[in-house]
Structure 1
Amino acid sequence: MVEVVAGVLTRADGRVLACRRAPGRSAAGLWEFPGGKVERDERPEDALSRELLEELHIDVLVAERIDRTVTWVDATDIDLATYRVPWDAHGPSSSTDHDELRWLLPAELGSLTWAAPDLPTVQALNFATPMP
């Protein structure tokens, strides 16, 4: 089992950051919430802060966990914990692991093709969003 964390960067207008995996990377072309693997003896929140600094060059304060699921991918269980990350600054504008970044409303997330481990979080965000 691989322990992974992801951040749902959330702006005040309710939009969240979706990131498309760059060509040459595993799951290339699929969308995900940014994050990565938890290292040995590392707290998940610390791993997420480290990963967002490495990938998006941003320093964040990790808030509450919003989802945790285990997904079977390529003969491996992926244990993904997803955290809300409030974001009120400009950017991020680039990523080391992604070729496109988009700020979307939760209702718009379903229009993208997501990596399997992130799908439960996409669904949870859609259900948590009040209908107009």
Structure 2
Amino acid sequence: MTERTLVVGAALLDAGRLLAARRSAPPELAGRWELPGGKVEPGEEPEAALVRELREELGIETEPGARVPGEWPLRPPYALQVWTARLRAGSPAPEPLQDHDALRWLSPDEVWDVDWLDQDVPAVRELLAGWDEARTPGAGGAARA
């Protein structure tokens, strides 16, 4: 039996917007959008991996928040978990370093303007449900599309 490898994604929120990253690799994922993040190393806590990955990939310092409910399968043996994160210092690198060719800050009304990877869609929906309740009561409709 193969042990699962955890991948952490960041629901990075700043000024009421969510950061999305467009994949440039591998070819089957190129052009689609995801929450930035990466693999948890052996012996590493998911929250620490999230901070490390965002520092390595985007050159920013972040503070992990709450875990978004759920876990989503990727190709075996990987599984995705998502945490909210707050930007503490820096600005995401204008040119992402690995496996991405663009970054985009999305307001709640723009979140569905990008073609999310299938495994990120349920995490984004969960995030938006909490975002609506906690940050923009009554915004409803478009966020759950």
Identity of aligned residues (%): 39
Given that residues 74 and 80 in structure 2 are in contact (C-alpha distance below 8 angstroms), is that contact kept between their aligned partners in structure 1?
A: no
Matched, 1:21 2:23: yes
Q: Unpaired segments of 5 or more residues in structure 2?
A: 140-145
Query: Structure 1: which 4+ aligned runs deviate by more than 6 Å?
Result: none
TM-score (normalizing by structure 1): 0.84
Q: Deviations over 1:66-101 (max 9, x none)?
A: 23312243xx25321111111265621231121111
How many positions carry a matched residue from both structures? 129
Counterpart AA for 1:30: R
Give the alignment's Cα RMSD to 1 decimal.
2.0
Given that residues 61 and 90 in structure 2 are in contact (C-alpha distance below 8 angstroms), is that contact kept between their aligned partners in structure 1?
A: no
Q: Deviations over 1:21-67 (max 9, x none)?
A: 12556621110011000111110011111111110011211111123
Structure 1 residue aligned with 2:79: 79
TM-score (normalizing by structure 2): 0.77
Structure 1 residue aligned with 2:143: none
Change (3 A) 1:26 1:47: farther
SS in 2 for 1:60: strand
Q: Unpaired segments of 5 or more residues in structure 1?
A: none
1:1-132 to 2 correspondence within 5 Å? 1-12=4-15, 14-24=16-26, 27-73=29-75, 76-87=76-87, 91-92=91-92, 93-97=94-98, 98-128=100-130, 129=132, 130-132=137-139
Given that residues 21 and 29 in structure 1 are in contact (C-alpha distance below 8 angstroms), is that contact kept between their aligned partners in structure 2?
A: yes
* Larger RCO, structures 1/2 (Cα 8 Å, 6+ apart): 1
Distance 1:107 1:54 in 2: 29
Given that residues 110 and 122 in structure 1 are in contact (C-alpha distance below 8 angstroms), is that contact kept between their aligned partners in structure 2?
A: no
